[in-house]
Amino acid sequence: MHPPPDGKRSWASARFRGSGVLVELIFLVLWFLLFIRLDAAVGKDLATANANALALQSAEHAVHIDIERSANDWLTGNPVLSQLAVYVYRLYYVVVAGTLLWVFVRHAEVYRNVRRTMVAMMALVLPVYWAVPMSPPRFALPGAVDIVAGYDILSQDSWTHPSHYTAMPSMHVGWSLWCAYAGWTALRGTHPRLALVSWSFPLLMIAVVLTTANHYVLDVAGSITLLAVSIAAGSLGGRLVARRRPMPRGSAAS
């Protein structure tokens, strides 16, 4: 049986890649929608969420890292910065989607790795939200000002009156850390200095979530831990998938 001409082989290969892209996009969209539904279903116990928040505040006070109230007071006195912080807080998902698309299109060699990490983050954070519901500082910290509600660009009533309490860990910080990890992974070999710049995004997000009274310092620490564990889980998953793939013909003889 003769192999197909180069033109037909190229067309078939391009068609396969196109269908692969479609399957990839459908998978990610469905997974994200499932994550949103499950996220909204956990952290419903307000009494437990408030109790956990008080315990966390006590732990932070014991080690002198309870800076949320003073940071919130500082931002409250700066209306312009408050508005900018709300833009960062609300529109960060544009950066997340853009980062995923950029890695997919321009850095296919690292795409599967960062995609596995993203999927692992969504899977691993849900049990934490279920087991440890947590009220954010804007509800649990006396005197804290809800800056996002005051300057909200989306005017969503569900934000002011949420139905679930999932402050620990902060996924705003978690996704910004994922963006930095994706950029660093893609650029560190060719543009090491530019790769380091990507970590400025999570630093900005950390400042935003603390000053807007949406998260605690320990929430940030939880986000860093989540990323580290997700990277390890994604790497392990990649190795397991590689082992299950059939070896190409002739590789055993080479």
**pLDDT digits over 41-83, tens only?**
777 788 999 999 999 999 999 999 999 999 999 999 999 999 9
Q: What is each CA distance from 19 to 12, 54, 197, 241, 245, in whole angstroms?
A: 11, 51, 34, 21, 20
Say if pTM beats, i.e. exceeds, 0.85: no
Cα–Cα dist 216/47, whole Å: 18
Confidence at residue 210, expressed as pLDDT on a 0 to 100 scale: 97
Beta bridge partners of 166: 134
Mean pLDDT value across residues 127-156: 88
Q: Which residues contact 81 (CB under 8 A, 6 or more apart)?
A: 75
At 212, the pLDDT band (50, 70, 90 cuts) reads very high
Which letter, b or e, does each residue of 202-229 get, where b requires 16 or more Cβ atoms within 10 Å of its Cβ? beebbebbbbbbbbbbbbbebbbebbee
Confidence at residue 193, expressed as pLDDT on a 0 to 100 scale: 92
Asked whether the predicted pLDDT for residue 115 surpasses 60, the reply is: yes
- pLDDT tens figures, 154-208: 765 444 455 678 899 999 999 999 999 999 999 998 999 999 999 999 999 999 9
Asked whether the predicted pLDDT for residue 235 surpasses 50, the reply is: yes
Mean pLDDT value across residues 222-246: 85
